[in-house]
Amino acid sequence: MEKTTDLSDRYPDAGILPFELRNFGKSVQFSGPAVTVKCFEDNSRIKELSQTPGNGKVLVVDGGGSTRCALFGDIIAIDLQKNGWAGAVIFGCVRDAAVLASVPLGIKALGSHPRKTIKQNEGQVGGRIVIGGVAINAGDQIHADEDGVVVLPAISGT
């Protein structure tokens, strides 16, 4: 996988998430096409997607930056890994951090929180989301490593 620093140099107009996300999964470097989810304190759509074949894709969740509960935990992470997802980028919190560290999946999030979400069957999958001023569309290429997260449009050929 190409490093995010090299991608940033080669594509100066690339989207770069403008805040530091913590690494929670065993895999620190990961990349793949984005599957976007917009949800706020309800992980119903995330849970549904975790049950589907990932084919090397990256789940990118706009959780509104909420730090009041966790959108993602050990069961979802294990399901994503088993179903062939490359990783997840969560603009929100995760939980079960000790278990997440042992799952061979890339996981980046704002932080951890012990409280789970309340499932109300809300959220949208596949649309355009904006995280920290960076637009992310389904199919855009996500590249993540120790230095951050780079978003390249799907048409860039990467």
User: Which residue ranges make up each domain of the chain?
Assistant: 4-153
| Chain segment 59-102, per-residue pLDDT in tens | 999 999 999 999 999 999 999 999 999 999 999 999 999 999 99
pTM of this structure? 0.95
Domain 4-153 in CATH 3.50.30.40? The answer is yes
pLDDT bucket at 19, cuts 50 / 70 / 90: confident
Count of beta carbons in the 10 Å neighbourhood of residue 98: 9
Q: Residue 38 has which token pair?
A: 């917009």
Query: Higher-confidence residue: 156 or 72?
Result: 72
Q: Percent helix, strand and coil across the chain, each rounded to 5?
A: 20, 35, 45
Instruction: For residue 3, count CB atoms less than 10 angstroms from its CB and return exposed for 0-12, middle for 13-18, buried for 19 or more.
Output: middle
| Chain segment 47-58, per-residue pLDDT in tens | 999 999 999 999
